[in-house]
C-alpha cells in the first residue's frame, strides 16, 4: 500500500456559519476562523475542510453558489480568506475547499443567462426539458421534498434540481461547462489550497433520457430517481478527466461525497492506479437507522449491524482504495447522541467513539464541536429551525400532508441537520461566546456546561483525549495503515478488533453499552504481553482471564512482538 500525507492526516471540518462570529452579526465568518487558528493548532489537526464560503444567496447555507470565485458577503472578503489560508499554512495546517459542482445557485450568472431563452449560449449548461402531458418531465422527487423539476415561465420549460429549486443541476454532458469548472478549480489550486471535498459528486452523470423512477411509494406524488443519477453512466469518465486535466497536476487531497456508493464501487473511485479521487464519504453507516421511507422513517439498529457495515468497508477497501472515517458532519446528527450516550456517559462515550474513528484504517474527520462532545438539540418549535431540508419536510408532511406534528418533531430532534449546526460552544458567556449579536440559529442550551474553555482547562476532557489520539496516529503508522480484523463479531455489546502491520499488532476494545461487560477474547490476545496506548478511564490493573469493560470503556493495547 502506498503511503501518502493525506492518509496520515486528521481532518477537521469547519461549518463557517456556525464556527465563530467576529463582527457581531450573528453569522460565523472568516475573521472568526482566523481568531481560532491557535485552537486548531492546539488540537493538532493537519487539514481543515471548509464548507462553502463562496458568494451565495444562502438558500442552503452556501451549498447554492452564485459566484465560485468570490467570498460570501456575510463571511468577509477575499483578503480575509487569504489571511486565513496563510495563517493555516504558517501553523502547518492544510486547507481543502468544498467543491459544489453538481449544481449552482439559480442566481449564478450562468443560470441567469440560461433561463433567458432556449438559444442562449448558456442554455445547455443546465438540464432543461419540456413537460410531459402538462406535468413535470419525470416523477423524480427532490432530496429536499417535492418535485425535482421547476417550471420556468420565460421559456415554458422545466429545469432539474435534485436539491432546492434554487439549486439547478449543471449539465455535465456539456464539454464547455466542464472546461469552465476545471478552469475554476485550477484558479483555486493556484491560490494555494490543498485539495477539495466534492459535494454529491457521484450525482453529476445522469442517465441521459432521465427515465421515470419506479413507483415504490404509491401514496407519494414523486419517487426517488436515484438509480438514474447516482454513480451514473459517465461518472468515472468525468472524474478521470477532472483528474487528468486538474487534480493530477498538484500534490493535493480529494474526497468525494457519494451517497449510495458501495465498497466495490468505492474501490473504483479511489483505486490508486485509476486517477479519480483519493477517498469517498460513503453513507451506509449513516443510513443504518433509515427505514424504507427514507431518513425520517427512523428504525432501530443493532451493534452487530453497525459492526458489519464498518467492517465491510475496512476489509473491502484494504489494499484497493482508501476510507474516510466519520460519524457526523454538518448534515448528520451529533455522533454522541446517535451512537453513544449524551446523558450520564457523554464524556466516556464521546471518547469511545473517537477511539473507534481514530483506530481504523482510513483518514479520520472531526466535525467542529465533536472534540468537545457537543450533542443534539431539541428545539420546541419548528420556527426555531433554519435548515431547508427540515423545513421543506415539515411543510410537506405536516402542513400539506396532515402528519402528526409531534411525531415529525421527534424525528427532527433525532435526525435533523440543525442538530450539528448549532453554534460552536466556546465558553459559558451569552450565546456560548459565538457571537455578541443574535445567532442565526440558537445555541444549544447545554453550552453552560459543554464548551471549549472548560475543555481546554480539564486534562481529562474530550478535547485532550482527541489531542492524544491525533498524536498517536502520528507516532504509530499501524493506526493508519494496519490491516483490520474484527473480533467477537456476534457481540451486541462490544466492538473489538485487531490491527496488524509488518509484524506489529494492536488490540482495540470498545464497550458500546452503559453497563459493565465481560469480554471473552481468544487466548493469544489475553496472554500476549502488551502496553496500554490509550484508554478513556484511569488505567487500572486488568484481569485478562475475566476482562471487564466499564460502561463505554475504550482500550487500545500494543503487543510487544
| β-strands 290-291, 279-281 pairing | unpaired
SS in 3 state form for 157-199? Answer: EEEECCCCCCCCEECCCCHHHHHHHHHHHHHHHHCCCCEEEEC
Cα–Cα nearest to 75, from 44, 45, 128, 34:
34
| Nearest distance from C-beta of residue 106 to ligand NOJ, angstroms | 13
Cα–Cα distance between 455 and 119 in angstroms, integer? 59
* Cβ closest to ligand NOJ, residue 60 vs residue 80: 60
Give residues 199-218 in contact with ligand NOJ (rule: CB under 6 A). 199-200
Cα–Cα distance between 358 and 410 in angstroms, integer? 31
* Cβ closest to ligand NOJ, residue 331 vs residue 370: 331
59, 141, 199, 418: the active-site residue: 199
Q: Contact between 163 and ligand NOJ (CB under 6 A)?
A: yes
Q: Contact between 228 and ligand NOJ (CB under 6 A)?
A: no
Q: Contact between 60 and ligand NOJ (CB under 6 A)?
A: yes
Q: Contact between 100 and ligand NOJ (CB under 6 A)?
A: yes
Burial zone of 422 (CB within 10 Å; 0-12 exposed, 13-18 middle, 19+ buried): buried
The C-alpha cell that represents 250 in the structure block: 498538484
Q: Contact between 169 and ligand NOJ (CB under 6 A)?
A: no
* Cβ closest to ligand NOJ, residue 80 vs residue 331: 331
Cα–Cα distance between 535 and 552 in angstroms, integer? 11
98, 257, 331, 553: the active-site residue: 257
Q: How far is CA 164 from CA 65, 74, 300, in A?
A: 12, 21, 29
Selected from 331, 370, 397, 418, the binder of ligand NOJ by CB under 6 A is 331
| Nearest distance from C-beta of residue 393 to ligand NOJ, angstroms | 13
Q: Contact between 341 and ligand NOJ (CB under 6 A)?
A: no
- 29 CB-side CA count, 13 A: 20
| Nearest distance from C-beta of residue 62 to ligand NOJ, angstroms | 9
The count of residues interacting with ligand NOJ (CB under 6 A) is: 9
* Cβ closest to ligand NOJ, residue 18 vs residue 355: 18
284 is catalytic: no
Chain centroid to Cα 537, Å, comes to: 29
98 is catalytic: no
* Cβ closest to ligand NOJ, residue 60 vs residue 289: 60
Cα–Cα nearest to 269, from 301, 227, 238, 310:
238
| Nearest distance from C-beta of residue 335 to ligand NOJ, angstroms | 16
| Nearest distance from C-beta of residue 5 to ligand NOJ, angstroms | 25
Active site residues: 199, 257
What residue ranges bind ligand NOJ (CB under 6 A)? 60, 63, 100, 163, 199-200, 257, 330-331
Amino acid at each position: 500500500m502506498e503511503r501518502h500525507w493525506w492518509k496520515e492526516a486528521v481532518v477537521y471540518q469547519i461549518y463557517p456559519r456556525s464556527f465563530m462570529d467576529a463582527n457581531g452579526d450573528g453569522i460565523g465568518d472568516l475573521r472568526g476562523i482566523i481568531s481560532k487558528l491557535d485552537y486548531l493548532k492546539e488540537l493538532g489537526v493537519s487539514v481543515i475542510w471548509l464548507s462553502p464560503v463562496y458568494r451565495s444567496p444562502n438558500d442552503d447555507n452556501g451549498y447554492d453558489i452564485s459566484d465560485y470565485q468570490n467570498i460570501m458577503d456575510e463571511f468577509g472578503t477575499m483578503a480575509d480568506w487569504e489571511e486565513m489560508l496563510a495563517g493555516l499554512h504558517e501553523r502547518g495546517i492544510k486547507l481543502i475547499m468544498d467543491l459544489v459542482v453538481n449544481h449552482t445557485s439559480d442566481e449564478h450568472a450562468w443560470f441567469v443567462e440560461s433561463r433567458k431563452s432556449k438559444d442562449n449560449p448558456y442554455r445547455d449548461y443546465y438540464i432543461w426539458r419540456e413537460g410531459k402531458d402538462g406535468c413535470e418531465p419525470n416523477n423524480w422527487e427532490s432530496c429536499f421534498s417535492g418535485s425535482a423539476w421547476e417550471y420556468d415561465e420565460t421559456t415554458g420549460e422545466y429545469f432539474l434540481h435534485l436539491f432546492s429549486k434554487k439549486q439547478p443541476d449543471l449539465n455535465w454532458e456539456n464539454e464547455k461547462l466542464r472546461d469552465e469548472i476545471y478552469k475554476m478549480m485550477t484558479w483555486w489550486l493556484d491560490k494555494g489550497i490543498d485539495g477539495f471535498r466534492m459535494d454529491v459528486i457521484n450525482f453529476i452523470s445522469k442517465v441521459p433520457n432521465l427515465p421515470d423512477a419506479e413507483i415504490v411509494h404509491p401514496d407519494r406524488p414523486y419517487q426517488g430517481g436515484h438509480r438514474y443519477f447516482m454513480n451514473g453512466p459517465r461518472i468515472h469518465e468525468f472524474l478521470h478527466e477532472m483528474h487528468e486535466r486538474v487534480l493530477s497536476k498538484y500534490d493535493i487531497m480529494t474526497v468525494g461525497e457519494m451517497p449510495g456508493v458501495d465498497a466495490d464501487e468505492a474501490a473504483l473511485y479511489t483505486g490508486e492506479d485509476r486517477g479519480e479521487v483519493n477517498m469517498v464519504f460513503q453513507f451506509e453507516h449513516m443510513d443504518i437507522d433509515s427505514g424504507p421511507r427514507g431518513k425520517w422513517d427512523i428504525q432501530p439498529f443493532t451493534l452487530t449491524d453497525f459492526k458489519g457495515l464498518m467492517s465491510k468497508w475496512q476489509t473491502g477497501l484494504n489494499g484497493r482504495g482508501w476510507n474516510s472515517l466519520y460519524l457526523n458532519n454538518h448534515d448528520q446528527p451529533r455522533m454522541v447522541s446517535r451512537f453513544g450516550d449524551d446523558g450520564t456517559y457523554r464524556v466516556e462515550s464521546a471518547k469511545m467513539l473517537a477511539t473507534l474513528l481514530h483506530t481504523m484504517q482510513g483518514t479520520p474527520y472531526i466535525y467542529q464541536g465533536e472534540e468537545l462532545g457537543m450533542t443534539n438539540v431539541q428545539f420546541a418549535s419548528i420556527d426555531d429551525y433554519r435548515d431547508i431540508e427540515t423545513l421543506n419536510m415539515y411543510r410537506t408532511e405536516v402542513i400539506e400532508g396532515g402528519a402528526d406534528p409531534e411525531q415529525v418533531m421527534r424525528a427532527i430532534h433525532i435526525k435533523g441537520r440543525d442538530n450539528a449546526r448549532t453554534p460552536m460552544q466556546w465558553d459559558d458567556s451569552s450565546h456560548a461566546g459565538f457571537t455578541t449579536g443574535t445567532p442565526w440559529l440558537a445555541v444549544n442550551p447545554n453550552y453552560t456546561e459543554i464548551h471549549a474553555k472548560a475543555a481546554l482547562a480539564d486534562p481529562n476532557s474530550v478535547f485532550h483525549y482527541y489531542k492524544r489520539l491525533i498524536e498517536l496516529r502520528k507516532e504509530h503508522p499501524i493506526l493508519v495503515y494496519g490491516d483490520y480484523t474484527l473480533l467477537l463479531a456476534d457481540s451486541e455489546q462490544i466492538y473489538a478488533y485487531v490491527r496488524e502491520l509488518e509484524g506489529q499488532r494492536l488490540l482495540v476494545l470498545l464497550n458500546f453499552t452503559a453497563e459493565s461487560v465481560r469480554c471473552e477474547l481468544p487466548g493469544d490476545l489475553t496472554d500476549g504481553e502488551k502496553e496500554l496506548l490509550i484508554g478513556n478511564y484511569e488505567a487500572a490493573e486488568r484481569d485478562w482471564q475475566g476482562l471487564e469493560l466499564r460502561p463505554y470503556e475504550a482500550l487500545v493495547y500494543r503487543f510487544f512482538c
